[in-house]
Amino acid sequence: MEFKASSSRLVVLASTSPRRRELLASLHIPFEVIPSDADESTPSHWTPEQIVMELALRKAKAVVASLPGASINAVIVGSDTIVVRDGQVLGKPKDQAEAASMLRSLQGRSHSVYTAVACIDGITGRSEVDYRLTLVTMRALTEQEIAAYARTGEGLDKAGAYAIQGLGSIFVTGIEGCYFNVVGMPLSLLSEMLGHFGVEILK
């Protein structure tokens, strides 16, 4: 089935993530991708909510600053995802050994996944940012499974060292909350926020 673009406003995704690009494409609205080179360092005392919302907004702001001209008829979207276990933030593993260590700490229990979405109006500069939280439960894993999955490299560019939409799905026994939030972009939140900027997914 073909969908007609619901708005003349362009959406600009401030991300190089192929997962976010695929999720945004599923909404059938016109969009472009512009990588963001925002600084992703944060103070150690920040809460998970502060981290994801600030980084999502930073990414969007960095792309806005890189755009030519004073304004553009577009909504710039930034997003950030982190995994939290026992209050500890788990980012992307630096190598297979760290990926295996992260999986070892997540297996047989539940952890939280936070993803924030930030939208900035390219004309007015108005911004909005919010986040969603999903609880993910993993089954117990053997050392052989952990090592084998780490070797695939699938989780090396993902917070928490696993991909719920890939081979990592075989470890997940349940989720509470938005599945797409774990993949990297809560589509229900995104669509609601885009509506606030004049981009309606369905009308």
Measure Cα distances from 35 to 4, 60, 158, 187 in Å: 26, 10, 17, 20
Choose the catalytic residue: 37, 80, 95, 121. 80
Q: Is 39 designated active site?
A: no
Q: How far is CA 21 from the centre of its chain?
A: 10
What pLDDT, on the 0 to 100 scale, is given for residue 129?
A: 98
- What does the domain layout of the chain look like in residue ranges? 10-196
Q: Could you read off the pLDDT of 20-58 as tens digits, one per residue?
A: 999 999 999 999 999 998 888 888 899 999 999 999 999
Q: How do residues 80-123 score in pLDDT, each as one tens digit?
A: 999 999 999 998 899 999 999 999 999 999 999 999 999 999 99
CATH class (in words) of the domain with range 10-196: alpha beta
